[in-house]
Amino acid sequence: MGAKRGAGAFVEIGVNRQLPSSRWYIEGDMKLATDYRGVSIRITYERLAHIIEHPELSDMEPAIMETLNNPEEVRRSQSDDKAFLYYRFLRATPAGDKYLCAVVKEGGVDAFLLTAYLTDKIKKSEMVWKKK
């Protein structure tokens, strides 16, 4: 399956079907998001299925992808210096107004989604990046 990355890219599905995709695409048994630095983040279907089986996150796949692609703030995990917390504020989630936190682990040339959850506030840790 071929795919182009970047703004305005398309995901090729089957022979002649294409879905518009601004910053993510499907590859085999996973999706790939592109973060604010242009780094690809793997999202396996196993991880995504585990995340969205939680009732408060069941309809949040688009919000998770948007948080990875376009976070408002990124912080380094206090417990793992190779894990990063991508935050985006969401209004009217099933749990009310909350931050969505997508946890990304980086290692070498690889980055992948570990988990995602809703939270009332951003954790106090080293700020890596903030949207202007």
The model's pTM: 0.79
In-domain check, residue 45: yes
In-domain check, residue 2: no
CB 118 within 8 A of CB 64: no
| Sign of the C-alpha dihedral computed for residues 72, 113, 128 and 69 taken in this order | negative
In 57-107, beta strands by DSSP E: 73-76, 83-93, 96-107
Q: What is the radius of gyration, based on Cα positions, of the chain?
A: 15
CB atoms within 10 A of CB 132: 3
pLDDT tens track, the chain, 132 positions: 333 334 333 332 222 223 334 454 555 689 999 999 999 999 999 999 999 999 999 999 999 999 999 999 999 999 999 999 999 999 999 999 999 999 999 987 789 999 999 999 999 999 999 999
In-domain check, residue 4: no
Domain tally for the chain? 1
Structural domain of 121: 10-130
